[in-house]
Amino acid sequence: MRVSDSEAAELVATAHALADAARAATLLHFRKPGLTADTKEAARFDPVTVADRLSEERMREILSERRPRDGILGEEFDPVAGTSGLTWVLDPIDGTRGYLSGTPTWGVLISVRDALGPVYGIIDQPYIGERFEGGLGRAVVNGPTGRAALRVRPARGLAEAILFTTFPEVGTADEAAAFRRVAEPAKLVRYGMDCYAYALIAAGQIDLVIEAGLQAYDVQAPIAVIEAAGGVVTDWQGGPVHDGGRVLAASCTDLHAEALALLNRR
């Protein structure tokens, strides 16, 4: 299903209400003394904080009041089955490692999807006060310098491209090797920006993001925002990546194809 104009307006308003609630919840604890984290995995540090849980709890409370028929898929709590054909996909803090470290490049990811994929998404950075939104006829950012349209950079080849990633922190050895095949001819490579890197593609600041091991809640909002700004987001075979996995996001189709060929070269 896709949505009517009247329902689109309600979805956008609800998404902003969620982002406002998550912004307040996360800022309660950001850069505060004594913040600690549990780890979700024994083999590596995969942190979750009181702020992650509080942020998602507050968003779920709003959805139970405003959109009780919709489903919910969030990172910290069990899924909720809906009956409307729409599901909210929530990452209450994308980049908890960055959040713990005090960097301002974590964010809150909010999207709503139907059976075909995300129809609208928000990437919100509470500390900076930047909110990127895309879908349902919107592609805008609101931040400290005001409101502006989102639009990807003009087309360019890999030799002139800026590439962001979380490698080597994520992914297998083979995936890291594939990433390096793209990174070597790129003009500039930067690391560890979490969801903010996807926002920078939509804002026309960078050209590529390549990652692996993502979940649906990591990628659905970035898909909506980047596609609304004119970019392309797929898996490493060029197919849909709504459910996570290996992600290739690009500012244009030619650059996407160039990176895709190198990722899959043997």
- Of all helices (H) and strands (E), which one includes residue 217? helix 216-228
Q: Where are the domains of the chain?
A: 5-149, 158-263
Instruction: End-to-end CA distance of the chain: give it in Å, rounded.
Output: 39
Query: Is 225's pLDDT higher than 80?
Result: yes
Tell me which residue of 50, 24, 20, 26 sits closest to 37, measured CA to CA.
Answer: 50
Query: Is 186's pLDDT higher than 70?
Result: yes
**SS3 for 76?**
coil
pLDDT on residue 44: 72
What does the pLDDT average to over 230-239? 98
Share of the chain above pLDDT 70, in %: 98
What does the pLDDT average to over 219-234? 98
Query: Is 4's pLDDT higher than 80?
Result: yes
CA distance 65 to 46: 31
Which residues are CB-contacts of 210 (< 8 A; sequence separation ≥ 6)?
A: 163, 165, 167, 179, 182, 247, 248, 249, 259, 263
Rg (CA), the chain: 18
DSSP string covering 83-143? SSS-EEEEEEEE-HHHHHHT-S--EEEEEEEETTEEEEEEEEETTTTEEEEEETTEEEEEE
pLDDT on residue 5: 84
What does the pLDDT average to over 166-180? 87
Question: Fold for domain 158-263?
Answer: D-Maltodextrin-Binding Protein; domain 2 (3.40.190)
pLDDT on residue 266: 77
pLDDT digits (tens, 9 = 90+) for 116-149: 999 999 999 999 999 999 999 999 999 999 999 9
What class, spelled out in words, does domain 5-149 have in CATH?
alpha beta
pLDDT on residue 1: 62
What does the pLDDT average to over 246-250? 98
What does pTM read for this prediction? 0.95
Chain-centroid distance of CA 65 in Å reads 25
pLDDT digits (tens, 9 = 90+) for 69-124: 999 999 999 999 999 999 999 999 999 999 999 999 999 999 999 999 999 999 99
User: CA–CA distance from 252 to each of 20, 160, 188, 199, 225 (Å)?
Assistant: 31, 13, 17, 15, 14
Given CA atoms 158, 164, 168, 173 in this order, what sign does their dihedral have?
negative
Q: What are phi and psi of 158, to 5 degrees?
A: -60, -35
Query: Is 43's pLDDT higher than 90?
Result: no
